[in-house]
Amino acid sequence: MFTEVLVAVVIGGVIFFLVQRSRKQVLKTEDGWWGAGAPPEGGEDVTIKPFKITTSDEEIEDLYRRIDQTRPVPSLEDSQFNYGFNSQYLQRVVSYWRNEFDWKRQVDKLNQYPHFKTNIEGIDIHYLHVKPKKVPEGTTALPLIMVHGWPGSFYEFYGMIPLLTEPTDPHDLVFEVVCPSIPGYGFSEASHKKGFDSVCAARIFHKLMKRLGFQQFYAHGGDWGWLVTTNMAQLEPNTVKGLHVNFAPPSKPGLPVALSVMLGRRFPKLFGFTDLDVQRLFPCVEKLVVESIKESGYMHIQATKPDTVGRGLNDSPVGLASYILEKFSTWTSRDFRNLEDGGLTRKFSLDDLLTNVMIYWTSGCIISSMRFYKENFSQGLDQPHSKIPVHVPTGFACFPNELMHTPKLWVKQKYRKLVTFTHMARGGHFAAMEEPQLMAEDIQNFMKTVEKKKKKK
């Protein structure tokens, strides 16, 4: 008993010290220019222009020609998805892509929402801007920016957008949604210069929201979107009214996290660990190491030499599809590695999966999207934003099949005003696309709580 009390006192003192030390820290940044060459003398063009996704017979014919010329390689017997995307099942996916998938119809679906482009810091930024058709009398729509990750796109949010802009429950909040493509992803222009990282994307998205007339707004992100929106909250904490994320690995583990790793299995209650936390955090060391090796190879490649493998993926639609869709299998559930079909259509439709692939293919963005890893990791893990806590109200959706389990204590170390922490019933890494209803509900619950607190003040 004495040991537990002593440990609790030490941890409490450490946490208090860290909070006091970092209370007034704000992330600093400077404007950049990411366009080709030098900035124009007259300054950047701030015009907002409508954008429409298009396709052509020539584009589709080129895709079919490349698919027809692919060279299949048989998978090993009884290998399922443990060696990567199973080749036999890949042939079925490719056959559907070639003979049944209707890209023109999917383009119409993509264009159901208004798309725009505007030039910020020298590059064209693509985004969706969806306004609610009806706002209840006496209320206003809340602006919300939602940021995707890799190998996803703005399309991940298509299932959520109507739930947020046209909720059926009269007590729900109504949102005005902005979904940008991270520069170098989809239809946002890639940087022409080295050094474009998450902080640069955060600064550009702040400028985007201000250009749209929003002085304050909410933000949501997963995968890289988690880091970009977190950086947005660190840059301008008075501008971001609330931050909702579904991915939050410790960016710079401090002493409380270290102590919880060392002592959490023996004294789980001291750290607020649930049975689920203990189950997810404390498998044998060997299992943790093996899992890390199995699932992080892509990251090492993209954080070091993205252009090499990227060139091959940019030329081969089948190679691109296998590289991207393997993540939609394994990152949705690790158990799917043991299935012949990777469990792909248990959570997603092939039409939705291939639409996301086609956004990468038609925009030719796979290399620039992979470079985002190199730009963020090449500066090392000890970046300024990794040391600065977030002081805006935060909500965290903890999905059970996420790549990394983050217990409440770890989230609170970074996000000091944690308003909601929800253990979600189901879902993995691509939660917005896999479970749009659950995600929209958690966003609603979090932001209702923040809005109520603001009204009380």
- Candidates 285, 230, 231; CA nearest to 411 is 230
- Candidates 406, 27, 30, 450; CA nearest to 241 is 450
Those residues with Cβ within 8 angstroms of residue 24's Cβ, 6 or more apart along the chain or in another chain: none
As a whole number of angstroms, the distance between CA 226 and CA 399 comes to 14
Q: Is the pTM of this model over 0.85?
A: yes
Residues designated as active site: 223, 373, 429
Ranges 31-45, 87-101, 166-180, 234-248: which has the least confidence:
31-45
Sequence-ordered strand ranges (E) for 163-234: 175-180, 217-221
Q: Model confidence at 394, in pLDDT bands (50, 70, 90)?
A: very high
Share of the chain above pLDDT 70, in %: 89
> What average pLDDT does the segment 88-97 reach?
98
Ranges 220-229, 232-241, 261-270, 338-347: which has the least confidence:
261-270
Note the CATH number of domain 48-456.
Answer: 3.40.50.1820
Whether the pLDDT of residue 260 is over 90: the answer is: no
Whether the pLDDT of residue 105 is over 60: the answer is: yes
The whole-number pLDDT of residue 293 equals 79
Strands 123-130, 217-221: pairing is: unpaired
The whole-number pLDDT of residue 1 equals 47
> What average pLDDT does the segment 50-64 reach?
98
Those residues with Cβ within 8 angstroms of residue 397's Cβ, 6 or more apart along the chain or in another chain: 244, 245, 246, 422, 424, 431, 438, 439, 442
> What average pLDDT does the segment 446-450 reach?
97
Those residues with Cβ within 8 angstroms of residue 391's Cβ, 6 or more apart along the chain or in another chain: 23, 233, 237, 416, 417
Whether the pLDDT of residue 21 is over 60: the answer is: no
Whether the pLDDT of residue 4 is over 70: the answer is: no
The predicted-structure confidence for 125-181, as pLDDT tens digits, reads as follows 999 999 999 998 888 999 999 999 999 999 999 999 999 999 999 999 999 999 999
* CB-based contact 143:175 (threshold 8 Å): yes
- Candidates 285, 180, 273, 191; CA nearest to 232 is 180
Number of helices (H) and strands (E) in the chain: give both, helices first: 20, 9
* CB-based contact 89:340 (threshold 8 Å): yes
The predicted-structure confidence for 397-434, as pLDDT tens digits, reads as follows 999 999 988 899 889 999 999 999 999 999 999 999 99
Q: Model confidence at 288, in pLDDT bands (50, 70, 90)?
A: low
